[in-house]
Amino acid sequence: MGASGALYMAIYAVWFLFTQMKIKDLAGDVLIMVYMYMFIGLYMCAAGAISVHSSYYFVRYMYKDLRVE
SS (H, E, C) 14-50: HHHHHHCCCCCCHHHHHHHHHHHHHHHHHHHHHHHHH
- pLDDT at residue 23, as a whole number: 74
Higher pLDDT, 46 or 67: 46
pLDDT in tens, 13-30: 889 888 888 777 888 888
- Compute and round to an integer the Cα radius of gyration of the chain: 19
**pTM for the predicted model, two decimal places:** 0.74
Sketch the domain layout of the chain as residue ranges: 4-62
